Amino acid sequence: MDAKYLLLGFSVMLLLVSFSGCEEQGATTQQSFDHVVFDSDVVDLAFANVTFFEKKEYSEDLDDPVAEMVVQNVEVKYLFYNPSDDAINISVIVEFYSDQDELVHRVGSRNINGLLADYTERQFTEVNIANCEGEKARQVSYVKIIAYER
């Protein structure tokens, strides 16, 4: 009996030692942000938010004034994370698309200089905010953010 307990104890110890040095490894999952498509092999998207600013407009028919909410402006804010071991300079293009995947408006190229290694941006600047306004904004369904090293 003692040999069985000794063998069982040794097996448990061996199992614990074999798992103690393991680190969880797996595929990293990209975060999902509503109305945002992200394309980059240089940086990760840490945050993105698309806001559709609407305004109430009334029809010109005085007998039947129908109010309708109409998009006046689409604003996207984004922050990046640099997973590399070096500081990098990147260029960013923001594209606004319709439901039919047609390009409505493009903003860019904007430059971010010296994005530090293993660093996540923490504040918005004029580089991290893009807008589509007026008639074009009414067509926007989603935004594509493209970041590449320069």
Neighbours of 79 (CB within 10 A): 17
Among 3.40.50.620, 3.30.1600.10, 3.30.830.10, 2.60.40.3230, name the CATH number for the domain at 31-149: 2.60.40.3230
Tell me the backbone φ, ψ of residue 116, rounded to 5 degrees.
-65, 155
Structure tokens at 73: 């402006």
Radius of gyration for the alpha carbons in the chain, expressed in angstroms and rounded: 25
- Pairwise CA distance, residues 1 & 94, whole Å: 71
pLDDT per position as a tens digit, 66-98: 778 888 999 999 999 999 999 999 999 999 999
Q: How many CB atoms lie within 10 A of CB 92?
A: 21
Q: Sketch the domain layout of the chain as residue ranges.
A: 31-149
Per-residue pLDDT of the chain (150 residues; tens, 9 = 90+): 565 655 556 555 544 444 444 433 333 333 457 899 999 999 999 999 999 998 888 777 666 667 788 889 999 999 999 999 999 999 999 999 999 999 999 998 899 999 999 999 999 988 899 999 999 999 999 999 999 998
The H or E element containing residue 2 is helix 2-20
**How many whole angstroms separate alpha carbon 138 and alpha carbon 127?**
23
